[in-house]
Amino acid sequence: MDELRRQHLMFIQNVITRMNTNSFQIKGMTIAIVSALLAIYASTANLAFVFLSIAPTILFWFLDSYYLQQERKFRGVYNNVCGLKNDVEVKPYEMPIQKFQGGQYCFCKVFFSKTIAWLYGTIVFLLLVGGLILKFKDCIIIICK
């Protein structure tokens, strides 16, 4: 492998690593913000904070999906540069992510992928169910008696 190709692969790998780091930090911020809003609920007993915590979770879900989509596109470039695939021509030091469309690079496919949907979907589901249980706890107690 010539030096230009090796250096090109290193540049692409650095971008992939940066996208992966951003995705990891977004997951951490999601947990921190949801925990903070639930702590505020615990101290004030204002149920709005439980439902309010769903909004940043969905927002971070979209943002995390965007970074994973970009990471997948750069992996496609990487695979073409190193010769694992030859579906897109990549010139030296070029990173043509706009050429990677559809299939595994589609935003909707990334949004509902196993690596993202289970985390954010579970958080949204638990917040919604927990909030509804807290909102209608008096009705639930009467029904159970």
Nearest-5° Cα angle at 44, 43 to 48: 120
| In contact, 24 and 90? CB cutoff 8 Å | no
Res 98: pLDDT: 85
Query: Which of 43-57, 65-79, 95-109, 111-125 bottoms out in mean pLDDT, i.e. has the lowest?
Result: 95-109
| CB-based contact 82:9 (threshold 8 Å) | yes
Cα gap 69→60, rounded to integer Å? 14
Helices 137-144 and 114-135, axial angle in degrees (round to 10): 70
Domain spans of the chain, in order of start: 3-144
Mean pLDDT of all residues in 1-23: 90
Query: What stretches of 45-113 show up as alpha helix (H) in DSSP?
Result: 48-52, 54-82, 107-111
Q: Is the pLDDT of residue 86 over 80?
A: no
**Single pTM value for the model:** 0.86
Is the pLDDT assigned to residue 145 strictly greater than 60? no
Structure tokens at 140: 């639930």
Measured CA angle at 66 (ends 33, 116), to 5 deg:
60
Question: 10 Å Cβ neighbour count for 8?
Answer: 21
pLDDT above 70 covers a percentage of the chain that reads: 95
Q: In this predicted structure, what is the pLDDT of residue 89?
A: 79
Query: Is the model's pLDDT at 119 over the cut of 70?
Result: yes
Mean pLDDT computed over every residue of the chain: 89
Q: What mean pLDDT is predicted for residues 16-33? A: 95
